[in-house]
Amino acid sequence: MQEEKRTEIASLGEFGLIDRLTAEMPIINSSTCKAVGDDAAVLSYGDKQTLVTTDLLLEGVHFDLTYVPLTHLGYKAAIVNFSDIYAMNGTPRQITVSLGVSKRFSVEDMEQLYAGIRLACANYNVDIVGGDTTASMTGLTISITCIGEASPEKIVYRNGAQENDLICVSGDLGAAYMGLQLLEREKCAFAGQDDFTPEFGGKEYLLERQLKPEARRDIIDALDKAGIQPTAMMDISDGLSSELLHICKQSNVGCRVYEDRIPIDYQTAVMAEELNMNLVTAALNGGEDYELLFTVPLSMHDAVSAIPGVKVVGHMTAPSLGTYLIARDGSEIQLRAQGWNSLEE
């Protein structure tokens, strides 16, 4: 009997698995404008188009309750979904929240989790409109679906970047990853000790970026006020390299990103030095910054550069020129999607 072929999921990675499972998936309903392949699906039900995104968080894979307070976890779980809607140039309006809960959690624990979710919804004017709760044998599972809206002409996809477009990012990169490294370091130091005070002094920004990120609604509002509509956009959840390669692939362009233009906070640099880690690697591949990566036409250089919190870091090229980081010494380093992948062993 011939042995059935077995392909390990890790060999494909998250996005490879999605591509494999959704290849040639037919669209049946005329109201489905965009299905799998962007930050959110796009549905049309009238003058406005509906954006739908979902995110699944598993204990032990996406978060560690040893150092993540439940209130912060609830806040972050909501924010990562809001960020996907903003990355489509839309506005989040409603969420549904589904939980898998093991017996070790109490009602009070779930109230803390929901307090974080409710705070995020209050801050971003989003309604909780439903969900589901069930028992879990493997700890805590959180699944949130976010529903947003946008005018059809305002929606920004990943596939609109053109040659010579400017590559822009909001905020700074690598801080969330360094916050995670700090928490993991202190967790290891704490192991087996009953009385332990973690060393977080002077690193509050890194912890905030990891435990309580914010979606960049302010940047979306600033772009709109300046009359700038990006040609392509994503949020940076898996690292700048991974997200930029997605845009290049879907837009059929190459890119050049300049190392000395990547925005990095001082605390991030100090933490990288303490841990003897490569700072640029952390900024390119760390992930969980939830900043916005977007492209605009070259003619908008002055206008986009005038927006506080936005930095031009490179430009798009012909696809034949490839995807490269230009190091400080002028050498070219090929970009690789080395962001965190939950499906790797």
**Could you report how far apart the first and last alpha carbons of the chain are, in Å?**
30
What CA–CA distance (Å, rounded) separates 254 from 322? 5
Domains of the chain plus CATH, in order, are: 51-154 (3.30.1330.10), 166-190+200-334 (3.90.650.10)
Which pLDDT does position 303 carry in this prediction?
98
Residue environment code for 22-58, b if the CB has 16+ CB neighbours within 10 A, otherwise e: eeeeeeeeeeebbeeebbbbbbeeeebbbbbbbbebb
Contact between residue 280 and residue 328 where contact means Cβ atoms under 8 Å apart: no
Query: In this predicted structure, what is the pLDDT of residue 29?
Result: 66
Supply the angle between the helices 204-211 and 266-274 in degrees, to the nearest 10: 100
- So what's the pLDDT on residue 7? 77
| Residue pLDDT, tens place only, 144-172 | 999 999 999 999 999 999 999 999 999 99
pTM over 0.85: yes
Structure tokens, 330: 């002028």
Which residue ranges of the chain lie beneath pLDDT 50? 343, 345
- Rounded alpha-carbon distances, angstroms, from residue 235 to 67, 232, 257, 288: 25, 11, 17, 9
